[in-house]
Chain A
Amino acid sequence: MYFINSFLFCGIVCLIAELILDNTKLTPGHITAIFVCVGSALDAFSIYDFFIAKVGGGALLPITSFGHSLIHGALLAAESHGIIGLLMGVFDLTAAGITAAIIFTFVFTLIFKAKD
């Protein structure tokens, strides 16, 4: 069931993005920024947690889950440190992804050249 849900959820998120991309003047940059905000807004009311519980891996891939991880880390730190935790924990859960992206980018930029 997880597999079908993953396919549908990730597909539908991409479909919505593609429809916005084709029918408005927004660029992919606008859409990813909007989707991150939507992801964190949904998690403020635990809706995205519900999606992840039902969907599994398909809900972790779209950029909306980046926003979800940001706010989730902030709220976890806020539980133990109070309101200052909102500032301390923002990157807790996304650190692995961001660091990996930076390291891989660094290594590949050293090795490869832009191809035009």
Chain B
Amino acid sequence: MTNRKYEALVKKHTPKENKVKYAVTAFLVGGLMGLFGEALIRIYIMLFDVSRNDASTYMIITFIFVASLFTALGFFDKLVAKAKAGLLIPITGFAHSMTSAALDYKNEGPIFGVGSNVFKLAGSVIFYGVVSAWFFGLIRYIWEVLS
């Protein structure tokens, strides 16, 4: 069998991923998350009479709490498998990666299991976030000093 025939055969038997469906789901779920976030900010402003900045922090903490709890209860993974980027890109994905990593390594003990693996996935976000924040911050700072 030549390579080309083999490739055609592999292509035929690979399950077709419905990309359009995934894209639409991610858009709708992500959009609903955004809508819900804005609604929560409004609710917190009304309930606790706080500034918009404080209400935003409350909102983000609420999302982290819910994502963390649902991950610990075991059904957030199924939701992520369906909605994919719709749940991974909002802050819920950050909380989900931390809680799921901690639970996965729980049986290896509190230090070398949970403690050292909790940032296994979220660590790259913090690491590259800090590097880029420092780098672009430096550019902005120099630009402001010069002008």
Contact = CB atoms under 8 A, between A and B. Distances in A.
Contact of B32 (A7, A43, A114): A7
A78 B138 CA distance: 9
Nearest to A36: B129
Contacts of B17: 22
A60 B40 CA distance: 12
A43 B133 CA distance: 9
Contact of A32 (B32, B86, B94): B94
Q: Contact size class for B?
A: 35 or more
**Interface residues of B: mostly helix, strand, loop or mixed?**
helix
Interface in A41-79: 41, 43-45, 55-63, 65-67, 70-71, 74-75, 78
30 contacts: A7-B34, A11-B26, A11-B28, A14-B89, A15-B26, A18-B84, A21-B84, A22-B22, A36-B132, A37-B132, A43-B136, A44-B140, A57-B59, A58-B35, A58-B37, A58-B38, A61-B37, A63-B91, A66-B125, A67-B132, A86-B134, A96-B60, A97-B64, A97-B94, A98-B126, A101-B98, A104-B99, A109-B103, A113-B106, A114-B107
